[in-house]
Structure 1
Amino acid sequence: MSPEPRNGPVAVVGDDGGAVVELVESMGLRTVSGEPTDHEEATVAIAIGEPALFEVAREWPTTPILPVDVSAGHQAVPPGALQSALGHLADGTYTIQNQPLLSVTLDGDPVGTAVSDVMLVTAEPAHISEYTVERPAESISTFRADGVVVATPAGSAGYARQVGGPILSPDVAALSVVPIGAFKTERDHWVVSVPEETWALNLSVEREEAPVSLLVDGHDTRRVAADEQLTLAHGGVISLMSVPESESVYRPLGDRPHTTRTVDDRGSTDFASSPETQSSEESARLPDASFPRE
């Protein structure tokens, strides 16, 4: 049986200034380094920021993760509530929820593992393409759009929500499939299951009117041609910890300040709020798809 998370050492990933390690140790919790070689010893990983969360989810798949200072959908602890959250971790006031990861392959070749979402999107502005989405039992739809995003429960409150998709409950093994800037007035989206015994979705580009990029968790991995097939399948699970301070996935977008971190002259980390909700790099890459095209 795996040890209780509160009884073992804590790994802290993404804490460049070391302030969180100091805080964890001040609460009477033992820490180990955030290096991948220590993941077997750690019983909890505290992931500071989205890059750290993605790293831990892929490299330490069996370790429960407490996300901190992470964008919408991951039930993260706000930076200012971390000390209180550590108190609840120490006294066992937490829950652990397993959520699906996605294995991503293109024509059978591995591309990577998605924690939040996978997108096919035209690489040039003011261009659309035609996409087909199918599940094992049937074809779901063929549509013209700027792109399509497939989100896990962890990612469904992020970009997929901004383009009209539903928020998925953290305890549902399902995917949200949402066209981006669809070329019609109706706004379709779908929710499909993630079977463990077979693939979940196939996506393909039917008409390539412009280059189409494949993004995995916001990272542009490659171009996808019209004769290639993208397959998404169950790729394991991520174990996310939730404490009373964790943000609800249902919190309105307007109430979610983007958080950044600054380091003062003493080398400690101070968390500060910013009204931005997306990085400039992400905003430049993803289309503005607030409304379908007429």
Structure 2
Amino acid sequence: MPSRFRHAALVGKYQAPGSRKVIAGVAEFLGDQGLEVSLEATTAQACGLADYAALDAQAIGAQCDLAIVVGGDGTMLGTARQLARFNVPLVGINQGRLGFMTDIPIGELRETLAPMIAGDYEEEHRTMLEGSVKRRTGAGIDTLYETFAVNDVVVSRGAGAGMVELRVSAQEHFVANFRADGLIVASPTGSTAYALSAGGPILHPSIAGWVMVPIAAHSLSNRPIVLPDFGEISIEIVAGRDASVNFDHQSLASLLHGDVICVRRSEHRIRILHPRGWSYYATLRRKLFWNEGTE
């Protein structure tokens, strides 16, 4: 049995109605379980809960051995990007609509979280994407932007523009030139997000691969493909106006022809703690309404 936790950081979706009361209740519960409790700095500022220390990501990584995320998948994604490099495990409390990653319903908080705090949980590790945007200049190649993504990297056409043309290589091998509204490179976690709505397959989180999905491709033969997650995927802007790239909705707009988006596996992984008995397939059944089958 793993040892119980000592110091928990609480991260909340503070924009949601009633969030202050919910976050205050979770903080009180954690304290009653014998944990020292701190609030993520933005959460603390927004909620005005002055009885708890406010910590930024660096301080959470140095001081806390657990992060409790109250919100939806978006809140969980943002927290994962910030804390993955510190190896802090995450527990998701679902206050959103879908909740693929935040798998503890807020109404079942006490009976579910108490055993986990005592050490009775299942731990899962998930890979992350690391991406950059490079531009050729007279002096060589400049890196314009670098960041992480949990779900996906999405290259898109401009809002008022036609299709973009993208030259794609994987592991230093040319794949194809795609003419489409855009292209998604998604992790297994992100395979149930935008990539799924664009027609891509679902990847189990344990699969060491990415899914690459053209968005509204000009040629019907341009189909989704599953690629290994070693090496690098490069996407060059060949044609099209006002193209942009999004890393989990962190956007960089006004890309130029010749700009290259590079995607690779991050050295950091996300640690997610689930209640005992958690099943990825049960999550798919609930969230995607696969109601034909029963256990």
1:152 alignment counterpart = 187
State yes or no: 1:224 paired with 2:258.
Answer: no
CA RMSD of aligned residues (A): 2.6
* Identity of matched residues, %: 22
Structure 1, unaligned stretches of length 5 or more? 257-294
Structure 1 match to 2:93:
68
Residues 122 and 276, structure 2, Cα contact 8 Å, conserved in 1: no
Cα deviation, 1:39-80, whole Å, max 9, x if unaligned, reads 322111112234432343233221011122264542632333
Partner of 2:239: 207
Which residue number corresponds to residue 263 of structure 1?
none
User: For residues 133-144 of structure 1, what are the structure 2 equivalents within 5 Å?
Assistant: 133-144=168-179
Among 28, 31, 50, the alignment partner of 1:22 is 28
Answer yes or no: is the 8 Å Cα contact 2:121–2:273 preserved in 1: yes
**Structure whose residues are more often helix by fraction:** 2
- Higher Rg: 2
Q: Deviations over 1:150-169 (max 9, x none)?
A: 11122111111111111111
1:185 CA displacement = 2.8
Residue aligning to 1:43: 65
Q: TM-score, normalised by structure 1?
A: 0.75
106-115 vs 224-233, which moves further:
106-115
Structure 2, unmatched stretches of 5+, are: 15-19, 41-54, 135-142, 291-295
Distance 1:15 1:245 in 2: 27
Partner Cα distance (2:160, 2:286) in 1:
29
- Matches of 2:25 and 2:277 in 1, distance apart? 19
1:1-294 equivalences in 2 (<5 Å): 4=2, 6-14=4-12, 16=14, 17=20, 18-34=24-40, 35-36=55-56, 37-49=59-71, 50-61=73-84, 62-69=87-94, 71=98, 73-74=100-101, 76-107=103-134, 108-125=143-160, 127-186=162-221, 188-195=223-230, 199-208=231-240, 210-235=241-266, 236-244=268-276, 248=280, 249-251=283-285, 254-255=288-289
In the TM superposition, residue 15 of structure 1 has moved relative to its aligned partner by: 5.6
Over 3 Å counting, the alpha-carbon distance change for 1:88 and 1:141 in structure 2 is: farther
- How far did 1:147 drift? 0.5
Going from structure 1 to structure 2, the CA distance change for 1:131 and 1:93 (only over 3 Å counts) comes to same
TM superposition score normalised by structure 2: 0.75
On the 8 A contact 1:75/1:247 being kept in 2, the answer is no
Check the 8 A contact 1:151/1:160 in 2, yes or no: yes
Q: Which amino acid aligns with 1:48?
A: V
CA distance in structure 2 between the partners assigned to 1:133 and 1:162 by the alignment:
21
Q: Shift in Å at residue 106 of structure 1?
A: 0.8
Q: Return closer, same or farther for 1:222/1:86 CA change in 2, 3 Å cut-off.
A: same
| Greater relative contact order (CA < 8 Å, ≥ 6 in sequence) | 1
